[in-house]
Amino acid sequence: MSNIFQQLINGLSLGSIYALMALGYTMVYGIIKLINFAHGEVYMIGAFLGYYFIQVHHLPFILALVLAMVISAFLGAVIEFLAYRPLRNSSRIAVLITAIGVSFLLQNVMIYFFGSNPRAFPQALTKKVFEFHGVQISSYQIVIIVTTVVLMLLLQFIVQKTKMGKAMRAVSVDADAARLMGINVDLTISFTFAIGSALAAAGGVLIGLYYNTINPMMGVTPGLKAFIAAVLGGIGIIPGAVIGGFSIGILETIVSALGFSLFKDAFVYAILILILLVKPSGLLGKNVKEKV
C-alpha cells in the first residue's frame, strides 16, 4: 500500500513538470493551431538560465526561478515575433517546419556555446526527506508540487479574470471576430507565447533541481511527452493539459515501478494512440462535427 502511495508521489512530481509544459503547448495550439516544437527547447533554456543565476550569481532559488521565467517569457515572445509572425497566413505545415527549425537552432546554439556534455545543477535548496508511514517525500518534490500548483492558480487567474485573459479566450475562439471587436490579436498571441514559455522555463528549473543534471538535448523527450499530455487531455483546453500532464507522469512512474522502465516511452505512445482512437478530441474535448 505504501508502495502505491510512494509511486503516486513520484508520479505527481514528474507529472507536475509535464503539466507545466503541456499548458504552454495547449495555449499556443488553442490560439494559433501550431504544435510549437520549440517549446521543449524553451524548457531547456529555462533550466540553463536557472543554472546560470544560481551557480554564477549565487541568487536564492526563488529569485533564480522568477528571473529564468521572465527571460524565457521574453525569449518566447521574440521567437514568435521573428519566426512565426511572418508565417501567419501560410500553410500550417510551413509553420510547423519553422518550429522544428527553431528547435534545432536553439539546441545547436546551446551546444555550440556550452558543449553537449551534461552539467550538474547546483543544489540550491537543502534536501530533506520526510517520511509518513513508510512513504517518503523529499523537500524537492514538495517544492515542485507547490510551485506547480501556485503557477497553475496564477494562470487560471490570468486567463479567467484579467483583460488579457479575456482577449486570449476571444482570439482562440475566432481571431477575425476578435480583431473586429478591437482586440490586438498580435499582441495577444505574443502574450500567450510569453506565458507558455515562462511556465516551461519554471518546469526546466524544477527538473534541473530534481534530477540534478541539465544538457542542451534535455528538452526533446519531455517536449514530446508534454505535447502528448496536452493531446491526451484535449488540446486547447487548459484543465485538460493539467490532467494529461499528471496522468502521463503517474503512468510513466507506475510502468517503471513495475519493472518495464525500458518500455515506458513506448507505453506512453501506445496510451496516446488508444486514447486518440477511442476519443480523438482527448479526454475533455468535445467532438465537433465538420460541415461541408
Partner 1 sequence: MKLFNRINACWLALIIGSFALLAILIQAGIIDSLYEMTLVSIGINIILGLGLNLILGVSGQFSLGHAGFMAIGAYSLGISYSQDPTLKGFVIGILIGLVLSGIVAVLVGIPTLRLKGDYLAIATLGVAEIIRVAIVNMNITNGAAGLSGIPLFESIPMWQLVFLFVIITALVVVNYVRSGSGRATLAIRENEIAAESVGVNTTKYKVIAFVIGAMTASIAGALYASYYGTIVPDNFNFMKSVDILIIVVFGGMGSVTGTFVAGILLGILNTLLQDAGDLRMIIYSLALIIIMIFKPSGLLGSKEFLFSKIFTKKKAKNKKGESTDDTIRS
Contact set with partner 1 (CB under 8 A): 33, 35, 83, 86-87, 90-95, 97-98, 100-102, 104-105, 107-109, 111-112, 220, 224, 227-228, 231, 235, 262-263, 265-266, 269-270, 272-273, 276-277, 280, 290, 292
Closer CB to partner 1, 94 or 150, in the complex:
94
Distance CA(231)–CA(280), nearest Å, equals 9
Number of C-beta neighbours around residue 132 at 10 A: 9
Min dist CB 114 to partner 1, Å, is 11
Min dist CB 265 to partner 1, Å, is 6
Min dist CB 154 to partner 1, Å, is 28
Number of C-beta neighbours around residue 116 at 10 A: 12
CA 218, distance to chain mean position in Å, is 13
Min dist CB 231 to partner 1, Å, is 6
CA gyration radius, the chain: 19
Query: Which among 146, 190, 151 is positioned nearest to 168, based on CA atoms?
Result: 190
- Please report which helix (H) or strand (E) contains residue 195, including its range: helix 185-211
Closer CB to partner 1, 88 or 127, in the complex:
88
Closer CB to partner 1, 40 or 165, in the complex:
40
Closer CB to partner 1, 198 or 235, in the complex:
235
Closer CB to partner 1, 213 or 221, in the complex:
221
Min dist CB 201 to partner 1, Å, is 21
Distance CA(248)–CA(85), nearest Å, equals 32
- Please report which helix (H) or strand (E) contains residue 17, including its range: helix 2-32
Min dist CB 107 to partner 1, Å, is 8
Q: Quick check: 194 and 211 in contact, CB under 8 A?
A: no
Query: Which among 218, 168, 176 is positioned nearest to 193, based on CA atoms?
Result: 168
Closer CB to partner 1, 1 or 93, in the complex:
93
